Structure 1
Amino acid sequence: MKRWLSVLRTPLGLTASVLSAGVLVLAVLAPILWTDDANAVDTGNILAGPSADHWAGTDNLGRDIFYRTLVATRLSVELALAATAVAVVVGLLLGTASFLLGRRIGRLVNAAVNIAVAFPGILLALFFAVIFGVGATGAVFAIGLAGAPAFGRLTQTLVASVGARDYVSAARVAGVGRVRLLFRHVLPNVSEPLVVNATIGAGGALLSFAGLSFLGLGVQQPHYDWGRLLYDGISSIYVNPYAALAPGAAVIVAGLAFNLFGESVAKALGVGVVGGVPALPPSPDALEVEERPAERHHDHDDVVLDVRDLTVTFPGPEGPIHPVRGISFAVRRGEAVGVVGESGSGKSLTALAVSRLVGDPGRVEASRLELLGADLRASDTRAQRHLLGTSLSMVFQDPMTSFNPTQRMGGQLAEVARHHQGLGRRAALARAVDRLRSVRITDPEHRAHQYPHEFSGGMRQRAMIGMGLMGTPALIVADEPTTALDVTVQQQVLDLLTSIRAAEDVALVLISHDVTVVGEVCDRVLVMYAGTIVEDLPAADLAASARHPYTRALLAAVPDMHTDLDAPLATVPGRPVDPADVPVGCAFAARCPLATDRCLAEQPPLETDAAGLRVACWHAGEPIDIAIQDREQVDAR
């Protein structure tokens, strides 16, 4: 409410608000006060000019044009608002079609919307006016349907943007239906821009309605709106120009009032009146990776997460793309496994695939994908949703996109307990308060009734962890949990994850760009590049025993207390591989100083070496300076 009231603090907003309020008040009071004066016929004073008795003159029956203009305010505004309501309702149906009906039907609807948007609104209005016939009712539907495609396009863009948020994906996994998702999680978060654009659309509808009535397609005698008065007054414009000027001025003032009010609200709220469209992610054929021998002799009861030959596929313009290509690993109870690599290496997508959060058109395949022995490849069932909701905790990279900004924090945490554990509203909220307290949020009773924007970044991240603890998780997947946090808060979040892991014997998968953080928190490190695991080694041996050139390059790029301040910082040469164009052979070969002809031709398998470590490299552990000569030979060839 404060944000809406801020509109009145600007000169433009105050002026537009006063004008809009004046038009609405006049629409209510004018017919009550001046209908008799507006309908009074004076045949002795026909087509008279302005005077003290008739400020805007009279029409061809001697009726007062000024009073008729005032009384016409109600019908003009009512019809404009009715047309706007039609545009909003039809636009919402068109804009949410993809979300509710699925991609195929939604694509057809979107194509029709795109075609309709290409035509000027007035042409569409004239087209529909011919279909629905002459009169006020036909004009309402004509103008409403003409405005629906633009509103539908905006709705489609906003819904697609919010529909990709983490909290919507989590609700889908929890089994929330599409209709409930739309009304509970999506529409409340796009309501402000839709209201703003509907307000601006009301001004446009009023102008369009006046235009149709002026053309004789709208309001018919004996009723009249501003457009009809303008139509009647234009015939006598040379005798009494005020007969056309008065209703014309009313149309301009009211249209400007609605448009300026909408634009001032948009500026005050920081809402745009047009939106952009999100894009799809992208990577080549999967290469099978050998199962890790070291994992075969672990007690299966000790394994929390078991992944074999995991591949994620998206459709691409030139064939399927594989951002994750046949990776295998296991996480045991109480173990912390770090996943590192550059952006685009497949780290986050692996976490989403494990958590069953990869939506259409993505496809997840694996020879084994088990959580606590349950097969996650099976079709979606109530039992599987319960398992994921209580035994797996996902800590997303940006909690601001993971929490619904229109709902209180306590209610969002409580929803987990109500849905997956069957607790009542009061018990679930008490559990939420207890979980907020467990993640070291002060005054949790008060904080539970606040909204996400009232939490600091670190508090939101802790609350995100608290949401994962609403059940009894056996595995926490933390995807860049310290991104955008200052170093002090980063340490607090990492300490919290470590303490939870120690206290509850919970397995942890920590995804990060920061190799040093992973080395401090985790027991084991998986290094990913181009959708595959290129090295798997103990975190304690990371600095001393890293054998893959990519791992060593990542470590060298991290400055420490011994870094020469006068020398340029070390970087990994070249650019990461495009998932849609992974080369033959080793994907890192183009950036690797150790690469030889064999690297360019053959993909190295992920094998266990003599030291018991897994590495995928034909030249693992070789000194860089020795192999530079080989690299020069490759370049020469």
Structure 2
Amino acid sequence: MAHDHGRARRWRAVLRTPVGLTAAVLLVAVAVLAVLGPVLWGTSAEAVDTGAVLGTPSPEHWAGTDNLGRDILARTLVATRLSMVLAVCAIAVAVTAGLLLGAAPYLLGGRAGRLVAAAVNVAVAFPGLLLALFFAVVFGVGATGAVMAVGLAGAPVFARLTQTLVAQVAGRDYVSAARVAGVGRLRILLRHVLPNIAEPLVVNATIGAGGALLAFAGLSFLGLGVQSPAYDWGRLLYDGIGAIYVNPAAALAPGVAVLLAGLAFNLFGESVAKGFGVPVLVGPAAIGRRSLSRLAAEAPTEARPAEDRPADDVVLEVRDLEVVFATAAGTVRPVRGVSFDVRRGEAVGVVGESGSGKSLTALALSRLVGEDGAVRARRLRFLGHDLSAPDSPALRRMLGTSLAMVFQDPMTSFNPTRRIGRQLAEVATEHQGLGRADALARAVDRLGSVRIPDAGRRARQYPHEFSGGMRQRAMIGMGLMGTPSLVVADEPTTALDVTVQQQVLDLLAEIRAADDVALVLISHDVTVVAEVCDRVLVMYAGRIVEDLPAADLATGAQHPYTRALVAAVPHMDTDLDRPLATIPGRPVEPAQVPAGCAYAARCPLADARCRAEDPPLVPTVDGGRVACWHAGEPLPDPTVRPADELVEAP
């Protein structure tokens, strides 16, 4: 495959560099010494010669002899094996403990996860040597205690690194897709997260082995590590330091060995980083978070009375939805009081500028808002189930089989380390009780249903072997592994060419028509929404400002913002001699929503009332809703100021 060939070329290029070649030679030499050292020099290293006690360097003993007349150079070469084994064991303990601690915040979530993260942050603040000395006292003198001491002392750094990497990958679309499918956190961690953070962990573990080697030698030198008659390089330093004035080579030989081995690990780690194409990472700065309990206390509360079940044709009910985040500047509500219904077979479009809250609304509906955010609603029901209820296997199963989520970036929609077919099959094995073979067969069938040719072969391929349009269709196929009643498509045509965009939209339309599936389509493209949807929700500054039939979007819009969005889209009759229409000013920042109507600073109809009072969303005579004090009033001429007259809102 081209991907594998490219990686192989990169590795060959790394090995041809001076650093890569030096690292390879040193590491191979250390490995060979570790294997052959005790075999070749074991006898001479243990041979006692009382006639040559504390001898200086000579042709027979290049580094002199110790207090029993044993050859110091031979003992240094033999000690390579034990030194390497102990260093590798220590780094294995560090990585294992770091993985467990770093993944705990994701697995536990909530307060318990934040407590683990806080404990890791505190541990990282302590110098590693002090932690190693502390654990050495706790576990006792000896090789085993020193391995545990060095390993646990290095664990906080790997825990911080793992925590950061897990948090990055956990926000990817393919992880969100697995969550929508109802896959548990542990399985997501093992199947989707850890394989995608393995490379930077391997790089840093390789470099960390050099540090572990040095730390272990330091403990043995202090008398806390390997004990006689066993010996490693640190123990040889400990034994040779007493005779340093008589024979400096007694300490110099093991010291040079530690230096060269540590250099080999560090250079090899740098080379591995270049080969993998990932950076060498260090622990990031701690990021403070306010607890969700404080968020909930600051968010306005509202009673939730018992309500009747929705009508049979209502798939999704949303009443007064808001999403709240706590930041250093205070509480931010990027979604404010959103209310709408989606009926069976209906297509509802959501449009607005970037930052208007469209995608965040979709994430809230799919229970994908991160733990640093709080979702509140007077009513939030999908197929009669309360989406604000605590997590449960039944709720995950319902969402995994009845809700399909199509994300905007096809490149990140799938786990790059797993084959496409297995990723689709995960839904069937998780919720439908199918075996691996049957689940894979259904995945192949679903790939074929979304027009992917040669589905059996494609199911065995990785995401990078698919084109962008094929990945997007495969993501839709994942949603069809169950029997979805609602498809939430968040910018599904982003980064696709026009022809592929139309294919994806046609596919969504066919799915709606075939099984009476409801669709929520989020897009910046007003033209696409008008073509595909039955109804349009226009969002601005986190709230719905107009709800109207898609057929009336071009001619029947009443809110000035909706009319400005429509006017900003060029069409075949656009006068090319005039500047393109634009909306003056900038969208409102979620943390700085002004009093009154959020659109007032950009609206040509705004008056003092608009700047003081926020208009409610009220019904209109044609069955829609609009939030504007001047709904339907004619706009000044020109409707939207051209680009050369653009002014920024104060």
Structure 2 Cα separation of the partners of residues 345 and 540 of structure 1: 23
User: 1:461: how far off?
Assistant: 0.7
Task: Choose from 466, 471, 480 the match for 2:482.
Answer: 471
Structure 1 Cα separation of the partners of residues 256 and 535 of structure 2: 75
Go from structure 1 to structure 2 and tell me whether the alpha carbon gap of 1:505 and 1:624 turns closer, same or farther (over 3 Å shift): same
Task: Provide the TM-score with structure 1 as the length reference.
Answer: 0.89
Structure 2 Cα separation of the partners of residues 409 and 515 of structure 1: 32
Q: Where do residues 320-335 of structure 1 align in structure 2 (5 Å cutoff)?
A: 320-335=331-346
Go from structure 1 to structure 2 and tell me whether the alpha carbon gap of 1:354 and 1:113 turns closer, same or farther (over 3 Å shift): closer
Corresponding residue number in structure 2 for 1:294: none
Pairing 1:594–2:605 present: yes
Q: Which amino acid in 1 is paired with 2:522?
A: I
User: 1:320: how far off?
Assistant: 4.5
Structure 1 Cα separation of the partners of residues 184 and 346 of structure 2: 35
Corresponding residue number in structure 2 for 1:137: 144
Structure 1 Cα separation of the partners of residues 182 and 369 of structure 2: 15
Q: Which amino acid in 2 is paired with 1:363?
A: A
Pairing 1:351–2:362 present: yes
Is contact 1:285-1:322 (8 Å) kept?
no
Name the stretch that deviates more: 354-363 or 589-598. 354-363
Structure 1 Cα separation of the partners of residues 446 and 289 of structure 2: 35
Q: Which amino acid in 2 is paired with 1:29?
A: L
Per-residue CA deviations over 1:561-606 (Å, capped at 9, x if unaligned) read: 4555565544322222232332221111122221111111111122
Structure 1 Cα separation of the partners of residues 325 and 582 of structure 2: 31
Q: Which amino acid in 2 is paired with 1:157?
A: T
Corresponding residue number in structure 1 for 2:66: 59
Task: Provide the TM-score with structure 2 as the length reference.
Answer: 0.88
Task: Choose from 181, 200, 220 the match for 1:193.
Answer: 200
User: Structure 1, unaligned stretches of length 5 or more?
Assistant: 289-298, 629-634
Go from structure 1 to structure 2 and tell me whether the alpha carbon gap of 1:570 and 1:118 turns closer, same or farther (over 3 Å shift): farther
Task: Choose from 31, 34, 46 the match for 1:39.
Answer: 46
Is contact 2:299-2:324 (8 Å) kept?
no
Name the stretch that deviates more: 491-500 or 566-575. 566-575
Structure 2 Cα separation of the partners of residues 127 and 379 of structure 1: 42
Q: Where do residues 437-452 of structure 1 align in structure 2 (5 Å cutoff)?
A: 437-452=448-463
Structure 2 Cα separation of the partners of residues 106 and 469 of structure 1: 34
Structure 2 Cα separation of the partners of residues 599 and 368 of structure 1: 29
Pairing 1:557–2:568 present: yes
Per-residue CA deviations over 1:183-202 (Å, capped at 9, x if unaligned) read: 23322221221122111111
Task: Choose from 249, 255, 259 the match for 2:262.
Answer: 255
Corresponding residue number in structure 1 for 2:100: 93
| 1:472 partner SS | coil
Corresponding residue number in structure 2 for 1:576: 587
Pairing 1:7–2:7 present: no
Name the stretch that deviates more: 566-575 or 193-202. 566-575
User: 1:223: how far off?
Assistant: 2.1
Q: Where do residues 141-540 of structure 1 align in structure 2 (5 Å cutoff)?
A: 141-274=148-281, 300-316=311-327, 320-540=331-551
User: 1:64: how far off?
Assistant: 1.2
Structure 2 Cα separation of the partners of residues 381 and 143 of structure 1: 41
Corresponding residue number in structure 2 for 1:293: none
User: 1:261: how far off?
Assistant: 1.1
Go from structure 1 to structure 2 and tell me whether the alpha carbon gap of 1:384 and 1:229 turns closer, same or farther (over 3 Å shift): closer
Q: What RMSD, in angstroms, separates the aligned Cα atoms of the two structures?
A: 2.9
Per-residue CA deviations over 1:164-218 (Å, capped at 9, x if unaligned) read: 3343344445444433333233222212211221111111111122222233333
Name the stretch that deviates more: 192-201 or 570-579. 570-579
Name the stretch that deviates more: 23-32 or 561-570. 561-570
Q: Which amino acid in 1 is paired with 2:482?
A: G
Go from structure 1 to structure 2 and tell me whether the alpha carbon gap of 1:253 and 1:312 turns closer, same or farther (over 3 Å shift): same
Is contact 1:287-1:325 (8 Å) kept?
no
User: 1:535: how far off?
Assistant: 1.0
Per-residue CA deviations over 1:127-151 (Å, capped at 9, x if unaligned) read: 3334444433332222222211111
Name the stretch that deviates more: 543-552 or 338-347. 543-552
Go from structure 1 to structure 2 and tell me whether the alpha carbon gap of 1:371 and 1:133 turns closer, same or farther (over 3 Å shift): closer
Corresponding residue number in structure 2 for 1:292: none
| 2:340 partner SS | strand
Go from structure 1 to structure 2 and tell me whether the alpha carbon gap of 1:606 and 1:382 turns closer, same or farther (over 3 Å shift): same
Is contact 2:413-2:471 (8 Å) kept?
no
Structure 2 Cα separation of the partners of residues 341 and 132 of structure 1: 61
| 1:433 partner SS | helix
Go from structure 1 to structure 2 and tell me whether the alpha carbon gap of 1:257 and 1:5 turns closer, same or farther (over 3 Å shift): farther
Pairing 1:20–2:27 present: yes
Structure 2 Cα separation of the partners of residues 316 and 67 of structure 1: 62
| 2:555 partner SS | helix
Corresponding residue number in structure 1 for 2:305: none
User: Structure 2, unaligned stretches of length 5 or more?
Assistant: 303-309, 640-647
Is contact 2:181-2:401 (8 Å) kept?
no
User: 1:154: how far off?
Assistant: 0.4
| 1:546 partner SS | coil
Task: Choose from 608, 625, 628 the match for 1:617.
Answer: 628
Structure 2 Cα separation of the partners of residues 125 and 365 of structure 1: 46
User: 1:459: how far off?
Assistant: 1.1
User: 1:497: how far off?
Assistant: 1.4
Is contact 2:463-2:471 (8 Å) kept?
yes
Corresponding residue number in structure 2 for 1:291: none
Tell me how many residue pairs correspond in the alignment. 619
Is contact 1:97-1:109 (8 Å) kept?
yes
Is contact 1:286-1:311 (8 Å) kept?
no
Per-residue CA deviations over 1:235-255 (Å, capped at 9, x if unaligned) read: 434443332222122111111
Go from structure 1 to structure 2 and tell me whether the alpha carbon gap of 1:156 and 1:376 turns closer, same or farther (over 3 Å shift): closer
| 1:312 partner SS | strand
Go from structure 1 to structure 2 and tell me whether the alpha carbon gap of 1:375 and 1:133 turns closer, same or farther (over 3 Å shift): closer
Name the stretch that deviates more: 112-121 or 231-240. 231-240
Name the stretch that deviates more: 134-143 or 462-471. 134-143
Corresponding residue number in structure 1 for 2:307: none
User: 1:458: how far off?
Assistant: 1.4
Pairing 1:69–2:79 present: no
Task: Choose from 90, 106, 118 the match for 2:113.
Answer: 106
Name the stretch that deviates more: 133-142 or 506-515. 133-142
User: 1:354: how far off?
Assistant: 2.1
User: 1:391: how far off?
Assistant: 2.3
Structure 2 Cα separation of the partners of residues 625 and 232 of structure 1: 92
